[in-house]
A and B are shown apart, each in its own frame.
Chain A
């Protein structure tokens, strides 16, 4: 592999329109640079543009993230505008196109293939801005609750601060006054001593000639004017008028519509299909065998769907045809036993000697947990519009990963990425599903067979049955307590480890720990599901610690507090949630409160669920109190909205979310058999944010992992029944048959 380095610097230039652009350029440079080893493949000149100033004094922030309801365009622009002291009423944004001008595919691939760790020494520097762009657009994409934490903190803020510094320098040079005597406010630079003022636009051209500061000074929180306020989100007005355009809404002249019927069993192929166009199917244009699916192209979606439902399709049989959910769980348990027996189980974390400590413990608590596969069920079913023409390909879709989509299409068609244009649209829910490129590749596979644009739409049934799923899993947990109820040993064997890597860690001070995992093979495709591995481990850790508190005869909230004394952030969150949830006030019989807390994606979130279980066993979650140490919430109302969203999303999964495999295929198909939370089941949610002075934490995911255990711990309190299998609906909680643990 050819190793070479680049020197990164802020690049400036004046566009033909007269706009000043400030971005990051990266070029081949000297070999002693710190970025050796990070970027290790052939690369081309990259110009990553972050902001521009127009002649009318408008500042445009260029945002490399997709909008899927998290308000990212508004929040990231706030970060840039605040550092720049731009006039918020004159700030706009554009979403960075997935284009080589915004990131270099070859370069990015080298970065992805090489060291994936963001180098600490580059944080807060201009070099870091570039790497953040690469990471955001190619590696981390819109996911991992990363937009504010990485692009915002290390990209937008620095770009804004650098722009301001350059504008100030330009004013200083022009007016021949010391830069310290100048003031920047609302896109105007003034020199109070001489009463001189100039707009950013007036200074932009001179500023473009100024050498950019390598490490511009960032504001302290006391200096923030926008960050920490809840300005109205830009994306909302169009979403109440129906004007907002999602991937589903794209209309291209001469476009036709397609839908598919995929092989029900994962990995199966089409054995036979009659591709002649049936006469009776009005409006049907083409039937295509895509090997793993059949597609019909027609004048409209309904025509295509009606035709495909009538097609006789045979699929080849596979070794998975007979597999059921029970087989899968049994296979998991056998894989776990085998890995333990053969000592092939991998170590996640070890401290002290858990086995010895267990053997000497006064009390042993042991439990097996089981979690189901989960589908994403975004409101907007999967879709993508593609047009292959003149050696090029254009696609229109809502993607969490537009650059990945571009790369996938280029590879699929065997054309260069420059020939692929991604027109990213609003996302009707992402939750991880729209970071995949399967639907995009399929749309291109259909479109390449014809010479007009095709909009591929999946039915809800296909969307449910050909998702990439949060894994089903089985976990074994064991802990030992001493005579006073203090945990002395903790052992956990789990299946599958995706990311983030620390998800199975526990925040609790237990001296002897052994955490291990093994990864059995699975034919059910896996995908990132909101909070990823935390969605599994939040439930496991927080259920089991509740079991330990019960065994130790201690209050579950106090127990958690006593085991996190070395973590002041946890202590504060636990104190505040005790107060806000009225933890110590009595509840009616058959009601209970449950608590859970976890740190994920840089935020620490605790939730208390207040739950009623009636005599018929119906569970009603009345109220959820959420306390989040957000580090610093850039947009507090947006942060709260994300907490609310993550709670309802996790609650739907906890209560009824279950994808099961029957005969090798997904048994569920639509919202009637994969039910989700509706308004009548939605609890009242109260969110309290702690700005602890730590770096901003993620918002999109951290409230999801803790809702399931908060609810099951509350059910335990209300009924004495410990729920170790999700969804909760699997457990019969009728008073008449309740079995308590």
Chain B
């Protein structure tokens, strides 16, 4: 039994050596927003944050993140019943189609914007190319990241908003 901190909450879980974080999150913590896509860190559907860094949970042993702060799509917004600025931008741009990859896309986008609030097109391409979208919504994902970036800029330069 190990203890994981996910979205600020403690989860005692059974995680034998080598068991990927993905399956602990999905099956034991029942946080199913994080998706299984490939199992070999090729598609990004399983992206979560560990201490703010985007990682692929399908190849990260659960035991290796004990004591660290794990964030999933369910915990990306700081307040309950409100959306993260990136999630809001995703809705504005009507980004998802099937939606299966979108949790991972949003987690990668949030990590990117945390590190680089005003990414160029090339920087977005680079940061997001580990996330596959088979519905091909790359143009809308890029637009949503730019929209979120602009809104982040507006909210920091104009804090009363």
Contacts and interface: CB of A to CB of B under 8 A. Distances in A.
B27 interface: yes
Contacts of B128: 679
B35 to A, nearest CB: 7
Contact of B135 (A237, A645, A684): A645
Nearest to A427: B98
Interface stretch (A97-105, A374-382, A409-417): A374-382
Contact of A648 (B19, B43, B136): B136
A249 B32 contact: yes
Interface string A269-312: 00000000000001000000000000000001110001000000
B37 interface: yes
A460 interface: yes
B43 A426 contact: no
Contacts of A282: 16
Contact of A242 (B73, B129, B139): B73
A670 B138 contact: no
Contacts of B72: 242
A676 B30 contact: no
Nearest to A686: B139
Contact of B99 (A232, A239, A381, A644): A239
Contacts of B129: 678-680
Contacts of B102: 239-240
Contacts of A301: 23, 27, 36
Given A70-B97, A679-B129, A300 B91 contact: no
Nearest to B18: A306
Contact of B138 (A230, A235, A381, A648): A648
Contact of B34 (A242, A302, A648, A678): A242
Contact of B94 (A232, A245, A426, A679): A232
B41 to A, nearest CB: 10
Contacts of A676: 132, 134
A652 B125 CA distance: 17
B91 to A, nearest CB: 6
Contacts of B149: none
B54 interface: no
Interface string A415-455: 00000000000111111000000000000000000000000
A69 B135 contact: yes
Nearest to A647: B136
A232 B91 CA distance: 8
A679 B124 contact: yes
Interface in B7-31: 16, 18-20, 23, 26-28, 30-31
Contacts of B34: 242
A534 B149 CA distance: 40
Interface in B91-131: 91, 94-103, 106, 124-126, 128-131
B134 A240 contact: no
Interface string A376-405: 011111000000000000000000000000
A385 to B, nearest CB: 12
A645 B137 contact: yes
B6 interface: no
B33 interface: yes
Contact of A682 (B20, B26, B136): B136
A235 B134 contact: no
Contacts of B45: 379
B83 A240 contact: yes
Contact of A380 (B35, B126, B138): B35
A457 B36 contact: yes
A195 to B, nearest CB: 41
Contact of A429 (B16, B40, B91, B98): B98
Interface residues of B, number: 58
Interface in B56-107: 72-74, 83, 87, 90-91, 94-103, 106
A429 B100 contact: yes
B42 A236 contact: no
Given A672-B42, A677-B136, A240 B91 contact: yes
A644 B95 CA distance: 11
Interface residues of A, number: 63
Interface in A227-275: 230, 232-233, 235-246, 248-249, 251, 257
B138 A428 contact: no
B61 to A, nearest CB: 11
Interface in A686-721: none
A481 to B, nearest CB: 37
A379 B36 CA distance: 9
A685 interface: yes
A427 B43 CA distance: 17
A232 B93 CA distance: 10
Given A379-B101, A426-B99, A645-B97, A241 B136 contact: no
B142 interface: yes
B147 interface: no
B94 A641 contact: yes
A86 to B, nearest CB: 22
Contacts of B19: 300, 302
Contacts of B133: 379, 648, 679
B97 A641 contact: yes
Most chain A beta-carbon neighbours within 10 Å: one of B72, B74, B98: B98
B55 interface: no
A671 B137 contact: no
A682 to B, nearest CB: 4
B27 A671 contact: no
A670 B98 contact: no
Given A241-B74, A379-B100, A302 B42 contact: no
A300 B129 CA distance: 30
Contacts of A249: 26, 32
Contacts of A236: 90-91, 94-96, 99
A649 B98 contact: no
B137 A641 contact: yes
A637 interface: yes
Contacts of B154: none
A377 B45 CA distance: 13
B39 interface: yes
B134 A684 contact: no
Contacts of B100: 246, 248, 378-380, 428-429
A460 B38 contact: yes
Contacts of A682: 136, 138-139
A69 B98 contact: yes
A428 B98 contact: yes
Contacts of A590: none
A690 to B, nearest CB: 21
Nearest to B33: A242
Interface in A622-665: 637, 641, 644-649, 651-652
A235 B99 contact: yes
A645 B97 CA distance: 9
Contact of A460 (B37, B106, B137): B37
B4 interface: no
A53 interface: no
A670 B94 contact: no
Across the A-B interface, the 9 shortest Cβ-Cβ residue pairs: A242-B33, A648-B136, A69-B97, A428-B100, A239-B99, A69-B98, A242-B73, A249-B32, A682-B138
Interface of A: 68-71, 230, 232-233, 235-246, 248-249, 251, 257, 282, 300-302, 306, 377-381, 426-431, 457, 459-460, 637, 641, 644-649, 651-652, 670-672, 676-680, 682, 684-685
24 contacts: A69-B98, A241-B87, A243-B33, A245-B32, A248-B32, A248-B100, A251-B32, A257-B27, A300-B19, A301-B23, A378-B98, A379-B43, A428-B99, A429-B98, A460-B37, A460-B38, A645-B136, A648-B138, A649-B135, A670-B40, A670-B42, A676-B134, A679-B133, A679-B142
Given A249-B32, A682-B136, 8 more contacts: A69-B98, A241-B83, A244-B99, A637-B94, A648-B138, A678-B129, A679-B138, A684-B139
Interface of B: 16, 18-20, 23, 26-28, 30-40, 42-43, 45, 72-74, 83, 87, 90-91, 94-103, 106, 124-126, 128-142
